[in-house]
Structure formats: C-alpha cells, structure tokens
Structure 1
Amino acid sequence: MSDLLTLNAGGREPLQASFSDARNPIGLDGLEFIEYVTSKPQALGQVLEMMGFRPIARHRSREVLLYRQGALNVVVNAHPGDAQAAGHAGEAPVISAMALRVRDAQAAYRYVLERGAWEVPTHADVMELNIPAIHGAGGSRIHFVDRYQNFSIYDVDFVPIPTVDQHPPATAGIHFFGVVQYIGPERSHDWIEFYGELFGTQLIPDDQRFGIMPKGRLLRTPALNASQRFMLQLIEPEPNVLDAGERLQRIGLGVPDVMAAVQALRARGVEFVETDAVHTERRGAITKTYLGSVVFELVHSEPAQE
C-alpha cells in the first residue's frame, strides 16, 4: 500500500470480523486483476476484445493498458524489461501476475512472509502505488491489493481513456471462475500446502469436478464475501512430457449458460476447440490457443450471491 494512501482511512475496506478467522487468514476477498506480459500488446488486445474486454485506461508512466468487462480486470503489460524481469523472454504472452483482494495488504504481506513466502522487491515511481507481491508459479507474482471499491488502485496509477465506458458490461454474464496452474511432476502436495498455509484454500474432493478439463487438483479460496471465491486448478504434466515448467497457464471464466456464451463469443470471432475428446457442451468449452499461449476456458457457473 502506498504511503500516499495511508492518510485516507475511508478508502480502506470496512473491518471484517472474519479477517482473523483461521479459515481466511489474510482476509482474502477475491481476485482484483490478472496481468499478461507481452511484446505484442496490440495483438493481445485484439484477442481480449474478441472475448468481450474493452481497453479503459492507460498507466500514467508505463506501457500498460487496463482491459475490463463486468467485474473482470486484465492488465496488459508491454513495458520494456518487465517480461525479462518476470523471467519471460519469449514472444508469446504469458500470465505474469495475479492480484488478490485482501482486507489489509501490508498485514497480509507480513503474514505470508512469516510463513515462508518469497518477497518480490518492488520499486514505485513518483505518484505510483507500491503494491506488495510474493513469488508465485514460475516467474509469476502474487500481489496484495486492499483498495478495490470506492477508491481503487486504478484511480492512482491509471488515466481513463476519454469517451470510453469505464464499466463495460460482461458478455453473456462472464465472471471470474479461476486460474489453471501447470506444476512440476509430483508437485501437487507442495502447492496444495503452499496455498493452504498462506491463503486458507480448501482442497475439493476429486468427485466434484467443473467444466470439461477435469485433470489435476482443485482448490477453493475463502473470501469475505461468498461471491468472491474462486478456484485454483493444479495440473501435473503427463508422463514423458518434455515441458514440465511451472506457470499460470490459463484463465477460467464462469458463465450461467455455456452454450449461449459460446454463441455470443463466436459472433465476436472467437473460435473454440471441437474434437472428439474436447468439445463444447453445457458444462464448459475451451477456446483455441491464440498467439501461441492465450487460451480461455468457459465453465458453467452461476455467480454466487453474497
């Protein structure tokens, strides 16, 4: 949290009794944004716009764009050097970070560091927020954000694009469902313990599955509001697979009606995988891979009520 904001107590989220609850040790309240790093921001922007996102704001001092639809925020970072700093030197876009909404960012940050998380040194320029972060899968980062309602991080770091609706509606009821993370061989236990110890995630029984890509282990996050819970899916590589690197691989999007969402997105130009093994059905659908790495999974999901 920036020192610029410490004097404005009204900007912080209201105190919640569950902040110290062992089931939600950091006061987690959902996901604030997903960040991609890319050397081709226009190409990635075209993919996001096909998916219903709209560019709504530019960073004040960096080559970064904010895309939004409904309650979903996606940051496209093309700032020189950021991809290399995050350990990504290829041309394909990668998910470089996710930001968690928490009751108190500094308290959450201290909590996870005390339990073994690795801090990411950050340096904020003048009039920029210093958002604390720890290392995640591969070269990714996990940020902690405590300004996300009336006064958000975007009010400080971004400038709205003129004449653009700052709150574009979600296409076909799209909402955030979860993140799929590829992990190394026999690393499921390590990551289940990592997320459980730091964030209070709960392992979902194997007989409870979602969507059409049921591999791996599923974790559900706690949240101060039930509507902000999301999933983490951990997938180990198949035997004899050469690419066993760990990374945040794709975003899961919940929709109340998969078939209607697929129809709406196809009308926008989105193509979906249709094979004997993987195809669109009422439980879910998965897009083709764009730009060598960008893929979205649709999952049947009614938005939870608070």
Structure 2
Amino acid sequence: MDALTRIEQALAAAIAKGSGEGTPPLLAAAVRHAVFTPGSRVRPRLCLAVAAACDDDAPVVSDAAAASIELLHCASLVHDDLPCFDDAELRRGQPTVHRAYGERLAVLAGDGLIVLAFENLAWHTLRHPDRLAPLLMIIGRAVGMQDGIVAGQAWECEPAVELSAYHREKTGALFAAATEAGAAAAGQDPSQWRQLGANLGEAYQIADDIRDVAGRSAEIGKPVGQDAAHGRPSAAAELGLDGALTRLVELVQAAVQSIPDCPGTCKLGQLVIAETARLLPADLAARFQDQLATPGS
C-alpha cells in the first residue's frame, strides 16, 4: 500500500472513531471539512518515509503517528485562518472552516482535532506501549508554547521577532516532529533525524513566503499578499526574493546532507527536493533547481 493511501485510511479511521454518534453533526462536518479538503500531506508522508528508512516494524504505530501529525497540522490551519489571526476566506482552494461553518464551530473543530491527535496515538500503541511516551514528547513539544506551533503563532502578537526563530517554531517544529516521530514509531533513535525535519520545515516556510509574493491565488489555493497585509515576518520581505531563494537552496542542501545513512537516503533526498520545488511558482522552481545543481551554490 502506498504512503498516501495509508495516510488517508489512518485519518478516516481516526475521524470515524473520534467523532461517533454522540458528536454534534455540524461539529463533525466542520472537522471533516478541515481534514479532508485535499492537501499535500507532506508531513505525514515525511513521517512514513523516515519510518520506512528505519525498517518500519510496527506500521500501525507509524500510521498513527503520521495521522496525528496531520490532524495537528489541520487544527493549526483552522485556528490560523480565524478572524483574530488571518481572517482567511480560502484554504486549499475551498472556503475556510470558519467561513463554511462559523467562527464558533471552527474554534471547536480545531480544539477537537488537537485532542483527537493524542487520543489516536494512545489507541494505536497498545501493543507497543514503550513507543507511546517518546511519541507524546516529540509531538507534544512540536505544538507547544516554548518551541512549537503555539509559540510560532504567538510571535505574531509580539512587536518584534527574529525571522529564523519564527520559522523554526511556526513551521519547522512540526516537520522536525514528523521525522523524529517516524524513527520513534519504528523503535529507533529519533534524535539523528531531527535536523532533517528542522531544515526542511524552515525551507518550507521560506518557500511559502516566496509564493505569497510571487504566486497566484488560483494556483496555491489561498489568497496571496497575506504576510504584508497582516504585518507578519517574511523571508521575502526581509531578504528580498533573490535572497530568500538563496536561503531556500541552502536549507534544502542542509536538509539533504543531514539525512542519516540508510537504505532510503536517496529516495528521501528526492522527496525533500521535489516537495520544495512543488511549492514554488514555475519560473522560481526552475531557478531553485538550477541553483541546487550548480556546484558550490
């Protein structure tokens, strides 16, 4: 079974188990809207790719870890789109949850997805209880107030923030969790995989900053120009488009070089490069590939 099929099945099972007959119908619908609006699933795919590189001896655990990371990502998007933050109308080409179901249900849907992510880990580690605590620590830290998504979002409320720290926490933390969780789910040491996720996460945010100024709304499925409109830190604004692209290349190179020696090293490197290029407008994706291929770049 391919990775995307595993992810979609794990997400569907988690939603079905977590939102049974007692769940208010509109809340259940809002949760499904948040999770099943088509997305790239890059974080859970990265988690499964690392698990595979670590022999993936317990697929039920790695599937659960991948799904829980995606549930938390979806929750963060629901909250990020709210009127108190971005007041976004579109996400992945569809109305945002608060536009489709109202602000109150959007808050509750995001909260419910956070709880469900941790329930899901507990449900699927019963036969591997020694793997639950490391997964809880890895994933909990990635969404927390000190180094995780909550911290990254909160920095938008501060008068000043260092750009790299903002990117590491808002986006990089969950990518780092994805790589670490993949190893932990397979019973391997997660620490050697953290740098891959951290570098890729920061690169992903820089690519997102670039397409916010150089992309088109119809292509990326959400409004452009939002960083400037909301006064958010942005690599494109701070470094310029060329500088941001150069920094992106540096981070992707560092991500590829940080992949531990394993049977899937080449495949993982290809995934990192392909996912980054996919985010960029076509002309900038070509420049990105050219700079990667240039010796000494």
TM-score, length basis structure 2: 0.28
Q: Which protein has the bigger strand share?
A: 1
Q: Which protein has the bigger helix share?
A: 2
Q: For CA contacts below 8 A with separation 6 or more, give which structure has more relative contact order.
A: 1
